[in-house]
Structure 1
Amino acid sequence: MNKDYAVIGLGRFGGSIVRELIELEMDVLAVDIDENRVNEYVDIATQAVIGDTTEETVLKDLGLGNFDNVIVAIGDNIQSSILTTLLLKDLGVKQVSVKAQNDYHARVLEKIGADYVIHPERDMGRRIAHKLASSSVLDYLELSDEHSIVEIMAQEKLADNSLLDLDIRAEYGVSVIAIKRGDDIIVSPDPTVNIKEDDILIVIGNDDDLTRFEKSLINN
């Protein structure tokens, strides 16, 4: 896929995406209707321009139809977000990722063809809640509406047992896909390998099953 990216909307969320993509050595076109915001990214992004992306002529002049990846990170103006997304898809952009303000906004974005709808506040809220609820949970990554990956610190209950002994998959319906042990990562671990205290288990599964597994660690 083309390594050229465009980010529309340079608030806190869009700006952080620009900075991270630049760190990853991607070429990034940064766009915002606000001149002051654009000026902040003149020396950061590959190119930073002022533009009203609800105008089709502006999108065409910027050549956005030639981009494979466009992130719409427009802040509170839902109408502008929706219209920009619609125009980008009409121009043939392959991957349009859009920040949603709420579930209604997300449903509209999905209906008009957004390829990936981002819920930054909701997703961060979930990650924080899982980490606060259990001291064993180190990180939480949502894969879809129903499936996630969780990093769990192996504490006393799990230590000195093998995956075969614990029978986690049969008991909870989740799978340990890797174990971090210090600087080493054991991918697709052998079920007979003993878990050590402070190992980090990478666990994938349905959200309800993961929650049951997390609760079992809290309650024991």
Structure 2
Amino acid sequence: MSVKSRIHQKIAVIGLGTFGASLAKELTAAGIQVLAIDKSLRLVDEISDFVDHAVCLDSKDTEALEQNGIHRVDAAAVCIGDSFQETVMVTLKLLEMKVPRVLARAAGESEAQILNRIGAHEVMFIEKEMGKHWANLIARPGALEDFEVSRNYSIVRIHPHPNWVGRSLSELRLPKQHGLTVLGFYQEERFKLVEGPDSRLELSNDLLVIGHHQDIDRFFADRVKEEKSQKQKTQEAEDTSQGRS
């Protein structure tokens, strides 16, 4: 992944065992600020030279989390491996604290079902997908799947931007503007190859695109910038409206 094309994101990684430590290092390598958290001082010391900030605390402690800036992160990955009960408790706490994106580690389908039911935004199956793969997905908000096909290229499944709905592929000009080539799209989970540049998108049409890592990173960086700008404008409008009333 290209560090130069990154915007400033801050990700919390909670639980610094083998998977959590790998994830924290890969995110740092991608140019992302990492807040690494574990209750083991030894694990915190081992990761401290590889991340922006590492802290030893009980992740169930709301006050300690707030004091260390959990409310300022863009996402949090719960990577606790020795206690599923603690994973559930920490996931719930992060959701209550309104962390925008909460990912949680599951060891199997039964755990995944529970995490989905309590509201985790994404579930990480660490037996199948290890640190680098999940670092890609976390670093590229909006990417639903990410497959590295060579040292320089990836295939990514993305959800269409609302502004794309009803427009044709030729109108979007993804190859020229973003360096991304559309391979096809999903319709009710069935994949269809692109029939031509006049194919129009619906909100339910996830796209499968291929591109150079730098172009993909730049695309998602621009997308996050736009989303943050839109949220800021919405918040300012709400504040102005409340001030008038």
TM superposition score normalised by structure 2: 0.51
How far residue 207 of structure 1 moved from its aligned partner, in angstroms, is 9.1
The 1:120/1:57 distance shift into structure 2, 3 A limit, reads: same
Are 2:78 and 1:72 equivalent residues in the alignment?
yes
How far residue 56 of structure 1 moved from its aligned partner, in angstroms, is 1.9
**Could you list the runs of 4 or more consecutive aligned residues of structure 1 that deviate by over 3 angstroms after TM superposition?**
148-151, 185-189, 202-208
Separation in 2 of the partners of 1:78 and 1:60? 23
Alignment deviations for residues 61-107 of structure 1 (CA, whole Å, 9 cap, x no partner)? 22212212111111121011000000000001000011112222111
Letter of the 1:51 partner, please give it: L
Q: How does 1:180-199 map to 2 (within 5 A)?
A: 187-188=181-182
Separation in 2 of the partners of 1:102 and 1:21? 24
Separation in 2 of the partners of 1:186 and 1:35? 44
Name the one with the larger helix percent.
2
Q: SS state of the match for residue 76, structure 1? A: coil
Letter of the 1:44 partner, please give it: F
Q: How many residues align?
A: 146
What is the aligned-residue RMSD (CA, Å)? 3.4
1:119 aligned residue (118, 122, 125)? 125
Higher relative contact order (CA 8 A, sep 6+): 2
Are 2:33 and 1:22 equivalent residues in the alignment?
no
TM superposition score normalised by structure 1: 0.57
Letter of the 1:86 partner, please give it: L
Worse overlay, 34-43 or 54-63: 54-63
2:63 aligned residue (53, 57, 60)? 57
**Structure 1: gaps spanning 5 or more residues:** 125-142, 152-184, 190-201, 209-220
How far residue 122 of structure 1 moved from its aligned partner, in angstroms, is 3.8
**Structure 2: gaps spanning 5 or more residues:** 1-6, 131-143, 150-178, 192-245
2:101 aligned residue (85, 95, 100)? 95
The answer to whether the Cα contact below 8 Å between 1:149 and 1:203 also exists between their aligned partners in 2 is no
The 1:26/1:32 distance shift into structure 2, 3 A limit, reads: same
